[in-house]
Structure 1
Amino acid sequence: MSSALSPIDPNRPSAARIYDAYLGGTHNFAADRAVADRAAEILPEVPLIARANRDLLRRIVRYAAARGVHQFLDLGSGIPTENNVHQVAREVAPDARVVYVDLDPTAVLYARHLLGDDTQTAIVRGDLRQPAAILAAPEVRDLIDLGRPVAILMIAVLHFMPDGPELDAALHAYREAVAPGSLLAISHVTTNGEPEPTARIAELYNRTGTPLVVRDAARTARFFEGWRLVEPGLVPGPRWRPDDGPVSDAERYLTLAGVAER
């Protein structure tokens, strides 16, 4: 895939930079912060939800590494922040190899800066709905051995993808490309029985040109077709193997999460 980046438009909000603003990062512009601020006005828990999603990513990566899966393909990786996949994985598996993939040029630019000359990581600019191009990228071929288990991460990204044959075909292609024992991890925006706030946030994103698709558990579960969900199944994000015991108010985080094995 081409390493050339399209120009970064500071006046057009991007999902990756808005998410960075939720996390208190510095890789965003006024247009992104305006959307983040408006989302927090609609739903004050939004920054907390974003941080909880990063904590979920950390737990998933540790789980995969502890199972002996030391290769990670992070699709829709976003802008680098604390507890990146390669950093967390190496706490358990120093030999872990990670390829980050994102379509946003800001995310790719800062990931390249962060990774530097780290030979066990790489960043690819690409759309996860084009699996053939991603899997054929030199960075992926150099670092990921598809003959061994791989953890495919789709954390907080599929809710920016509309339903349709293209997405279905991409998910099928990733499943068929990886070895038995591989993992698929997904987190996804949902409602908590009160859809009005999430509908308003979806409308806000739609106006920025980044559609947000809020799916319920049944629609999200379809993404795991052909995989076997591991315990505890598809659950509110904070309830996926929490570090500190049961979480009583997990539904308010508006996130579903699951990990499945091939």
Structure 2
Amino acid sequence: MNQPENRDEEPFLGSTPPREEVRTDLPNAARMYDYYLGGSTNFAADREAAEAGSAAVPHAREYAQANRAFLQRAVTFLAENGVDQFLDLGSGIPTVGNVHEVARQSNPRARVAYVDHEPVAVAHAQRLLGELSGVTMTLADIRSPEEVLSAPGVSGLLDFDRPVGLLAVAVLPFVPDQDEAREMLATYRGACAPGSHFVLSHISALSATPQQVAAAEEVMARTPTPVRWRPPHEIEELLAGFSVVDPGLVPLPRWRPEAPVTEDEVNIANAYGAVGRLDG
């Protein structure tokens, strides 16, 4: 890809503010996640569904918090290993400690392209980001990789001839078909240069019972974004084509923790995570 000159002088490259009607009467996964993280960009329907999810699986907030902490550790790891541009798939609503904030602690010139298909998340992010150089927010469905990769906020910002940090944190449960998820990721992987990294986290039963998993999936089936909890061997399949770095695919709190973690903290997170590297 040919990079534009004087990139720091460029205007914001995200998509234009979405014009479609925002349904605030239907719960939405991005806004529910925002609620679990203590955010304010959510509505009554989101809060009601989030509380129903907590009733089905008692540690939904801990799951969201474990994902956010894992994202921050993984982005720091990538940035410290020379990755200076990131594609955040299904980024959701920006909160404190988001990707560009974390990456720029290691490299102030790091570039981040956020992508989400939820209009409220995108509009809110665009207002927060404004004209911030080197950061974009694009309205697109990650299940259409060609659309994402060709979007101005992605193709105009990131140089795919150089290593990219591809992030899929807590988003692949919303692509419930295993074959579709694998094919989608293969397209993204094919667009990345050697040295790129893939950051993956996924909900999976650790402390949750089969009955709780079924109840949680039923809650999300009543929203526009049904989910699938995957067992570890199916999550591992989504890492195909990448060399998984130590410590491998592990429960989220056990991925390079900054402090000792308890078995209870591990189990209530109900999620696995890994980072893979694309070799030449």
TM bracket, shorter-chain basis: over 0.9
Assess if the C-alpha contact under 8 Å between 1:202 and 1:212 holds in 2. Answer: yes
2:231 matches 1:213: no
Which residue identity does 2:28 align to in structure 1?
A: S
Name the counterpart of 1:235: 250
Which residue identity does 1:163 align to in structure 2?
A: D
Q: Which has the higher contact order (CA 8 A, sep 6+)?
A: 2
Name the counterpart of 1:244: 259
Question: 1:4 Cα shift?
Answer: 5.1
Normalising by structure 2, we get a TM-score of 0.90
2:183 matches 1:169: yes
Q: Secondary structure of the equivalent of 1:200?
A: helix
Assess if the C-alpha contact under 8 Å between 2:15 and 2:137 holds in 1. Answer: no
2:200 pairs with 170, 186, 190, which one?
186
Cα distance in structure 2, aligned partners of 1:31 and 1:132 = 32
Question: 1:165 Cα shift?
Answer: 4.1
Name the counterpart of 2:32: 18
Name the counterpart of 1:259: 275
Question: 1:246 Cα shift?
Answer: 4.5
* Count of residues in Structure 1 that have an aligned counterpart in Structure 2: 262
Task: For 1:1-262, list aligned pairs within 5 A.
Answer: 3=16, 5=18, 6-192=20-206, 194-249=209-264, 250-262=266-278
Normalising by structure 1, we get a TM-score of 0.96
Question: 1:49 Cα shift?
Answer: 1.7
Percent of aligned pairs sharing the same letter: 43
Which residue identity does 2:275 align to in structure 1?
A: V
Assess if the C-alpha contact under 8 Å between 1:39 and 1:201 holds in 2. Answer: yes
**Deviation by residue 1:92-136 (Cα, 9 ceiling, x = unmatched):** 111100000000001101110111111110011111111111111
Which residue identity does 1:159 align to in structure 2?
A: P
Q: Secondary structure of the equivalent of 2:200?
A: strand
Cα distance in structure 2, aligned partners of 1:32 and 1:223 = 29
Cα distance in structure 2, aligned partners of 1:23 and 1:4 = 24
Assess if the C-alpha contact under 8 Å between 1:239 and 1:247 holds in 2. Answer: no
Question: 1:2 Cα shift?
Answer: 6.0
Q: Secondary structure of the equivalent of 1:243?
A: coil
The root-mean-square deviation of aligned C-alpha atoms, in Å, is: 1.4
**Structure 2: which 5+ runs fail to align?**
1-13
